Structure 1
Amino acid sequence: MKKAPGQHCRIYYSRTQQRIGHFVNNFIVRPHVQIHVCGGPISTAAALQMEAAIPNFMIHELHRYALLEPNTKTCVHNYMPENGMYSVPDLPGLGQELTPETLAASRVVTVK
């Protein structure tokens, strides 16, 4: 299946999206991939990392859910665009961590 230049392919967030992004770039659609990001700060950080890793990334979705205060208060970093552009986090892991308040309010389960 080939798509004409200018057509878009949407990939919904999944564990295999990087492989799908590369596959789409190499075999199906040359132009663009947009990851669907409807979540809070952890989803945003994960999506920014993934978007930086695929060659045919087009645009990052800023969903209204990411703007809600109950969501933005759960993590230390609140990644938002500046002058229309995001910076990719360069902190360890995804570049995000839960706030002490979020950790305190969370149920802790120890697996032995």
Structure 2
Amino acid sequence: MDGQRDTPFSYADIRPYELAESLDELTGPTHGVVTLPHKLAWSGRRSYDLDDPYDREALYKIVLEEGRREHFRKLLNGQVLRRLWGDFLPARQVRTLWEKRFPELRRTA
């Protein structure tokens, strides 16, 4: 063996993702337009309409994959996340981590 990995990996495989402490701490908005901070939406669109299913799922995916605890608490809503969980696909690593911490999400998927 020449010291190279047998399987390719991506940054997503080694990136340290964050988790919320509980779904109940996620008290973000449930309706209206949300503007993401530049730290989360640094390469383009920043405003998402939570009343539009596509926008809502896009916002949740971005926040789960790029956010930190303070973003989760401010931008996500635990009840909405439970309802959406089976309908959208965050990165595989994010999905695995959140379902491990919150088994009720796995049951809704």
Give the TM interval when normalised to the shorter protein: under 0.3
TM-score (norm 2): 0.28
- Greater C-alpha radius of gyration: 1
Higher helix share: 2
User: So what's the TM-score if we normalise by structure 1?
Assistant: 0.27
User: Higher relative contact order at CA 8 Å, sep ≥6: structure 1 or structure 2?
Assistant: 2
